[in-house]
């Protein structure tokens, strides 16, 4: 492990799904961390570029988790501008949390590389934790998940594996200039995933495939912000079309072990009671 890190590592999205877990790992190893988010000190806000410079002062490396989503149009330019500012401030070690099969995400990766940084890219599959820390919690509690998605297989990845990979890439040598595609060990359809969660939670939870316009209307009824509604439609209509229906060796390459399986995630998470009502 690298015990020469004495300046803080800035973790953008440091209170979110992957960032929080990375911060916990670094802190547990006695490494200094600065949380980069609207609740951080100093405050970091993607929408207010004037907050970026102060957050970068004196840091040794940055974990970049963009918000709301790296697939949103314009994300690549924003991530590129941030990476260039970091390099101009002397912060060259940058890790980017990216997404698989997303044109905007892949453009952001190119922006990161072009910034001159010592880059590492974690290009991730759909997170398992979207079912327990994201927008799917509510429908799971209601007993019915209705999505405009086919039987396409997705290799859901556990965010603990992502945080562990980020920790290793930041603290051990050999990861600069590497792109890791992080995915779980098994392809599951959304219907399969919901069935596994129902089984683990001991509940009857249905999965229903609905047309896109019905999904759009349901999102409008929930008063979701327009960018989130756009994003969900994009993910379900464009990205989940089969292009990501394959396994990858990214977790094995970084961590030297197999990725965590969805059933282990479902069993552990069910035991917290989050899917019980």
Ligand X SMILES: NC(=O)c1ccc[n+]([C@@H]2O[C@H](COP(=O)([O-])OP(=O)(O)OC[C@H]3O[C@@H](n4cnc5c(N)ncnc54)[C@H](OP(=O)(O)O)[C@@H]3O)[C@@H](O)[C@H]2O)c1
The residue (of 156 and 215) whose beta carbon lies closer to ligand X is 156
Judged by CB under 6 A, which of 8, 9, 31, 44 binds ligand X? 44
The residue (of 37 and 189) whose beta carbon lies closer to ligand X is 37
DSSP 218-258: HHHHTT--HHHHHHHHHIIIIITSSTT-S---HHHHHHSSP
65 is a site residue for ligand X (CB under 6 A): yes
Give the nearest distance from C-beta 4 to ligand X in angstroms: 27
The residue (of 71 and 270) whose beta carbon lies closer to ligand X is 71
User: Which residues from 100-129 bind ligand X, rule CB under 6 A?
Assistant: 124, 126-127
82 burial type by CB count under 10 A (0-12 exposed, 13-18 middle, 19+ buried): buried
Tokens at 190, concatenated: 């959304």
Give the nearest distance from C-beta 218 to ligand X in angstroms: 20
Q: What is the DSSP letter of 216?
A: H
Judged by CB under 6 A, which of 8, 22, 34, 37 binds ligand X? 37
| Site residue total, ligand X (CB under 6 A) | 26
Q: Which residue stretch of 40-48, 145-153, 219-227, 251-259 sits at the interface with ligand X (rule: CB under 6 A)?
A: 40-48
Give the residue nearest to ligand X (CB): 16
What angle in degrees, to the nearest 10, is found between the helix axes of 103-114 and 75-88? 20
Place of tokens 């916990």: 24
Strands 93-99 and 144-147 come out as unpaired
Give the nearest distance from C-beta 21 to ligand X in angstroms: 10
Give the nearest distance from C-beta 130 to ligand X in angstroms: 5
130-139 contacts: CB < 8 A, separation 24 or more?
131/193, 131/197, 131/269, 132/269, 132/272, 132/274, 132/275, 133/17, 134/17, 135/228, 135/232, 137/274, 137/275
Q: Which residue stretch of 8-16, 144-152, 203-211, 215-223 sits at the interface with ligand X (rule: CB under 6 A)?
A: 8-16
**Ramachandran bin of 112, using left for φ above 0, alpha for ψ from -120 to 50, beta for the remaining angles:** alpha
Quick check: helix, strand or coil at residue 146?
Answer: strand
The residue (of 19 and 184) whose beta carbon lies closer to ligand X is 19
Give the nearest distance from C-beta 3 to ligand X in angstroms: 27
Judged by CB under 6 A, which of 8, 9, 10, 17 binds ligand X? 17
Judged by CB under 6 A, which of 19, 80, 101, 185 binds ligand X? 19
**Quick one: how many helices (H) and strands (E) in the chain?**
12, 8
- Residue 263 to residue 1: CA distance in whole angstroms: 31
69 is a site residue for ligand X (CB under 6 A): yes
Question: 147: closest CA among 225, 240, 267?
Answer: 240
> What residues make contact with ligand X under the rule CB under 6 A?
13-19, 37-39, 44-47, 65-67, 69-71, 97, 99, 124, 126-127, 130
């Amino acid at each position: 492990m690298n015990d020469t890190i004495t300046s803080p590592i800035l973790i953008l999205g440091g209170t979110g799904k992957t960032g929080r877990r990375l911060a916990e790992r670094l802190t547990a190893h006695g490494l200094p961390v600065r949380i980069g988010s609207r609740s951080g000190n100093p405050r970091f806000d993607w929408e207010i570029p004037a907050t970026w410079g102060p957050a970068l002062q004196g840091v040794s490396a940055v974990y970049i988790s963009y918000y709301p989503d790296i697939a949103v149009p314009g994300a690549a330019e924003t991530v590129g501008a941030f990476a260039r500012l970091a390099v101009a401030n002397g912060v060259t070690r940058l890790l980017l949390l990216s997404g698989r099969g997303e044109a905007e995400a892949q453009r952001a990766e190119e922006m990161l590389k072009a910034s001159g940084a010592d880059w590492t890219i974690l290009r991730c599959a759909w997170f398992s934790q979207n079912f327990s820390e994201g927008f799917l919690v509510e429908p799971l509690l209601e007993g019915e998940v209705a999505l405009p998605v086919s039987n396409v297989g997705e290799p859901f990845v556990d965010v603990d594996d992502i945080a562990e990979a980020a920790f290793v890439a930041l603290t051990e040598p050999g990861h600069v200039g590497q792109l890791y595609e992080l995915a779980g060990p098994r392809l599951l359809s959304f219907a399969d995933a919901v069935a596994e969660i129902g089984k683990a939670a001991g509940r009857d939870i249905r999965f229903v495939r609905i047309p896109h316009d019905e999904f759009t209307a349901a999102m409008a009824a929930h008063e979701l912000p327009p960018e989130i509604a756009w994003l969900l439609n994009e993910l379900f209509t464009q990205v989940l079309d089969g292009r990501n229906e394959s396994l990858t060796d990214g977790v094995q390459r970084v961590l030297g072990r197999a990725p965590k399986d969805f059933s282990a995630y479902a069993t552990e998470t069910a035991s917290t009671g989050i899917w019980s009502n």
